[in-house]
């Protein structure tokens, strides 16, 4: 979901919501921040334009959302039908998207980056347990909510199931089956194939981008296709060893060589995060000892 300048939209009389403010533009329609007319609750209204998002796709996404309830997945609250269109009523995430945070801060602190990836994998663990493949994991589809119980301040939540499919679902529309975001697509996705391993590949690209500051491959869609299929991932030596190992495994060309479950990848990232915390603590202790020794001279 891409940020756009805020715009107020005229409210339809029959709508339960008011103060519609445009906060994003997705692949299939716009997203508005709105308030419930009676209780004032802030929600996100995701507009799904009929000419860009057919009824069959609308019902598929609705089915997925109804089956998902997890802290790291944006929750579905209901439907809104008015003369102006049809909307999914979703939780409003006040932190915007991960892409917004990356654009604002540039390189995000490593501890926060790992915490957000842990959140994403916890959400994927739940999504995959429902036999759903997201197929479009990228910073624009990761929304942030404030987390008062965590020192990092943010909780990541997976959104936008417009591209999602059931793991056993066969798609007859090959153009739709190959659709997605080329910068984050696993090699098999360019051939209309997908599995939960395709989501792990996308998380690997996202993790690379967070810790390095840029994506592993760049260029036009055709160039990205060739890179994802043929080009080895080069990870800077400055990236901690455990993270290099995780990214390398997540971004293997063959799905069978990647992590076999979100649980497995989640455990690896959690271990890397624990090591990072321990290393940071040791560095701070060493700096304190150095300061004490220097001041006593």
CATH number of the domain that 40 lies in? 3.30.200.20
Taking the C-alpha atoms of residue 24 and residue 167, their distance in angstroms, rounded to an integer, is 29
Residues 80 and 150 reside in one and the same domain: no
Q: Which of 2-11, 27-36, 52-61, 130-139 has the lowest mean pLDDT?
A: 2-11
Claim to verify: residue 117 and residue 202 sit in the same structural domain? yes
Q: Is 176 a catalytic residue?
A: no
| pLDDT, greater one: 62 or 133 | 133
Task: Supply the DSSP symbol for 151.
Answer: T
**Same domain, yes or no, for 59 and 108?**
no
**What is the Cα–Cα distance from 230 to 220, expressed in whole angstroms?**
15
Same domain, 63 and 148: no
pLDDT for the residue 295: 58
Question: Which H or E run contains 146?
Answer: strand 142-146
Q: What is the DSSP letter of 168?
A: T
What pLDDT is stored for residue 13 in this prediction? 60
Whether 293 is in a domain gets the answer: no
pLDDT above 70 for 157 = yes
Q: Are 253 and 225 in contact (CB under 8 A)?
A: no
Kind and range of the H or E run holding 57: helix 55-66
The number of distinct structural domains making up the chain is: 2
Would you state the pLDDT for residue 172? 46
Contact 102, 108 (CB under 8 A): yes
CA 206/CA 107 separation, integer angstroms: 13
Least confident window among 70-84, 87-101, 114-128, 211-225: 70-84
Domain that holds residue 78: 8-91
Q: Among the options 119, 136, 177, 199, which is catalytic?
A: 136
Digit-coded pLDDT (tens) for 236-294:
999 999 999 999 999 999 999 999 999 999 999 999 999 998 887 666 665 555 555 55
Please give the Cα distance from 101 to 179 (Å, whole number).
25
Cβ pair 75, 84 in contact under 8 A = no
87, 70: one domain? yes
Give all strands of the β-sheet with 42-47 in edge-to-edge order: 8-9, 17-25, 30-36, 42-47, 85-91, 76-82
pLDDT beyond 80 at 36? yes
Same domain, 75 and 112: no
Dist. CA 35–CA 17, nearest whole Å: 5
CA Rg value for the chain: 21
Residue 1 lies in a domain: no
């Amino acid at each position: 979901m891409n940020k756009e300048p805020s715009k107020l939209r005229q409210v339809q009389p029959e709508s339960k919501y008011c103060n519609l403010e445009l906060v994003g533009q997705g692949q299939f329609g716009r997203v508005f921040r709105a308030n419930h007319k009676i209780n004032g609750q802030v929600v996100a209204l995701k507009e799904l334009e009929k000419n860009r998002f057919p009824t069959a796709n609308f019902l598929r996404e609705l089915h997925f959302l109804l089956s998902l309830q997890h802290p790291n997945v944006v929750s579905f609250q209901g439907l809104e039908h008015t003369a102006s269109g049809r909307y999914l009523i979703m939780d409003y995430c006040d932190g915007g998207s991960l892409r917004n945070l990356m654009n604002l801060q540039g390189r995000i602190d490593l501890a926060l980056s790992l915490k957000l990836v842990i959140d994403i994998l916890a959400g994927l663990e739940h999504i995959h347990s429902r036999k759903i493949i997201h197929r479009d994991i990228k910073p624009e589809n990761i929304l942030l909510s404030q987390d008062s119980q965590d020192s990092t301040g943010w909780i990541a939540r997976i959104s936008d199931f417009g591209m999602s499919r059931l793991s056993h679902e066969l798609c007859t529309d090959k153009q739709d089956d190959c659709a997605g975001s080329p910068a984050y697509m696993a090699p098999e996705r360019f051939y209309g194939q997908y599995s939960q391993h395709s989501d792990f590949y996308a998380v690997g690209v996202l993790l690379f981008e967070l810790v390095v500051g840029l994506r592993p491959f760049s260029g036009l869609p055709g160039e990205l296709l060739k890179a994802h299929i043929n080009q080895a991932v080069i990870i800077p030596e400055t990236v901690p060893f455990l993270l290099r190992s995780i990214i390398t495994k997540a971004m293997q060309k063959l799905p069978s060589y990647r992590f076999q479950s979100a649980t497995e990848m989640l455990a690896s990232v959690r271990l890397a995060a624990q090591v990072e915390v321990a290393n940071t603590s040791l560095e701070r202790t060493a700096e304190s000892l150095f300061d004490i020794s220097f001041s006593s001279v």
